[in-house]
Chains A and B, each alone.
Chain A
């Protein structure tokens, strides 16, 4: 329970000294807190400046590192290009080394019907290349049967003609699938 302050005297005297003292203490505390607050703010500002400087240095270092990284990327890119070409050449060499003329000729011969023959044949070791062939058959029907054998593959009939000896001459371009590659 708080003290009951019951005093109804007409000439009550305020303890001025105590009041002044309390007000002075309040002022001192206020100024002290104000000073502490200012001190805190300026110390935080100082700390902020130090951190800003450190940040600038780090940013500088970061940009240097970024530049170096870009250089390295460029060099890597150049190296890659050079090596890609070499690798592509090596792959092509390997492909060409592994290319089987025998298989192609065997396939063509298997598909060739009786009463038909190749008058000329051009085969390239490039796996994407077309085979150019001149085929002679005894009739258009035989030729058509021969064409059918190449229905899964790419077959281009460049020219077809009937010779004077009643033989059918066809100039063809054939692209067989690359089974090995």
Chain B
């Protein structure tokens, strides 16, 4: 157990904003229940300035502490396997960064890197460009509110979906043209893939390729899945139909917003 994390817990805000491909969605959390407040379609968080963002905040509530959940568009995920992980935190950090540098072509100094131990030998590495974080901080400065939570939707969905009983073998998060599929075995993710496609047929094609890759590389044959998406029901229905035809069974999840908000 991480003693530090046991003692130090961070305040969760009562107001969240999901910055997705389709715009900004505002939510309020009251007594562990998520209430949608507003949707600002086709507005990108990174295109806003402080005054416009302040207006948006005024329209959706007056909570002093705000949380932002970003979709996975700007994130780079890697699941790394090690034969043995050192016990000391500093050594583990060096080892993980060394391995990420081998996989990652760009300069790591430009990225904020965080890693999380999933089990004895597996690490989830998350990279996000530092200038995006600075941009978000700049947007908040002057609004009179504090940004106390800045997280990622896929990571929160992993927390919510894979840690429950009867978790699906994989979930597919679709946010307009951005899709992320995460596979798990024994409640631990082992493969994550992000792709951008225009149509649902492309989604299915990419998913099919991914399932083949997982079967060949990991020897796993997933049979259950879940969908986390804000697509319309018709599109989702078609996707479901295709997946059922491939003998995959769906495990229905609660409302989408309760999955990616850290309630």
Q: A9-B147, A14-B11, A15-B9 are in contact. Are A4 and B187 (CB under 8 A)?
A: no
Nearest CB on A from B49, distance (A): 18
The chain A residue with its CB closest to the CB of B68 is A9
Please determine whether B133 and A8 come into contact, CB atoms closer than 8 angstroms: yes
Of the 9-residue stretches B50-58, B151-159, B223-231, which lies at the interface with chain A?
B151-159
Q: How far is the CA of A8 from the CA of B152 in the complex (A)?
A: 10
Chain A stretch 1-34: residues in CB contact (< 8 A) with chain B: 1-15, 18-19, 22-23
Would you list which residues of chain B between 93 and 148 have a CB under 8 Å from chain A?
112, 114, 116-119, 124, 126, 128, 133, 137, 146-148
Rounded to whole Å, the gap between the CB of B178 and the closest CB of chain A is 18
Pick from A9, A15, A18, A23: contact of B149, CB below 8 A.
A9
Whether A4 touches B124, Cβ cut-off 8 Å, given contacts A13-B11, A15-B11, A18-B9, is: yes
**Given contacts A9-B150, A11-B147, A4 and B11 within 8 Å (CB-CB):** no
Chain A residue numbers with a CB within 8 Å of B159 are 3-4
Number of A residues, CB within 8 Å of B: 19
Q: Which residues of B contact A7 (CB under 8 A)?
A: 10, 149-151, 262
A-side contacts of B9, CB under 8 Å: 14-15, 18-19
Q: How far is the CB of A20 from chain B (nearest CB, A)?
A: 10
The answer to the question of B67 belonging to the interface, with a C-beta cut-off of 8 Å to chain A, is yes
| Closest B residue, CB atoms, query A5 | B5
Residues of B within 8 A of A11 (CB): 146-148
B1-49 contacts to A (CB < 8 Å): 5-11
CA distance A13 to B188 in the complex (A): 29
**Given that A9-B150, A10-B137 are contacting pairs, would A1 and B155 also be in contact in the complex, using a CB cutoff of 8 Å?**
no
Q: Quick one: given A1-B188, A13-B10, are A8 and B150 in contact (CB under 8 Å)?
A: yes
Q: Does B163 contact A (CB under 8 A)?
A: yes
Chain B residues with CB under 8 A of A4: 116, 118, 124, 155, 158-159
A19 to B3, CA, bound (A): 12
Q: How far is the CB of B255 from chain A (nearest CB, A)?
A: 20
Q: What is the size, in residues, of chain B's interface with A at 8 Å between Cβ atoms? A: 38
What residues of A have a CB within 8 angstroms of the CB of B5 in the complex? 5
Majority secondary structure of chain A interface residues (helix, strand, loop or mixed): loop
Give chain B interface residues in 183-233, CB to chain A under 8 Å. Answer: 187-189
B146 adjacent to A13 (CB under 8 Å): yes
* Alpha-carbon gap, A19 to B6, bound state (A): 9
- The yes or no answer to B162 lying at the interface (CB within 8 A) is yes
| Complex-state Cα separation, A44 to B128, whole angstroms | 61
Determine the chain A residues whose CB is within 8 A of the CB of B116 once the complex forms.
4-6
Candidate in A1, A12, A13, A23 with the most chain B CB atoms within 10 angstroms: A1
Q: Are A15 and B10 in contact (CB under 8 A)?
A: yes
Expressed in whole angstroms, the minimum distance between the Cβ of A21 and any Cβ of chain B is: 10
Q: How many whole Å from A82's CB to the nearest CB in chain B?
A: 86
Complex CA distance for A3 and B5, rounded to whole angstroms: 11
Nearest CB of B to A152, in Å? 98
- Starting from the known contacts A1-B189, A8-B128, A13-B146, 15 additional A-B residue pairs (CB-CB under 8 Å) come to A1-B163, A1-B188, A4-B124, A6-B152, A6-B156, A8-B151, A9-B150, A10-B137, A10-B147, A11-B146, A11-B147, A12-B11, A12-B149, A14-B11, A22-B6
Residues of B within 8 A of A (CB): 5-11, 65, 67-68, 112, 114, 116-119, 124, 126, 128, 133, 137, 146-152, 155-156, 158-159, 162-163, 187-189, 262
7 cross-chain CB contacts under 8 A:
A1-B162, A6-B116, A6-B152, A6-B156, A8-B114, A8-B151, A9-B150
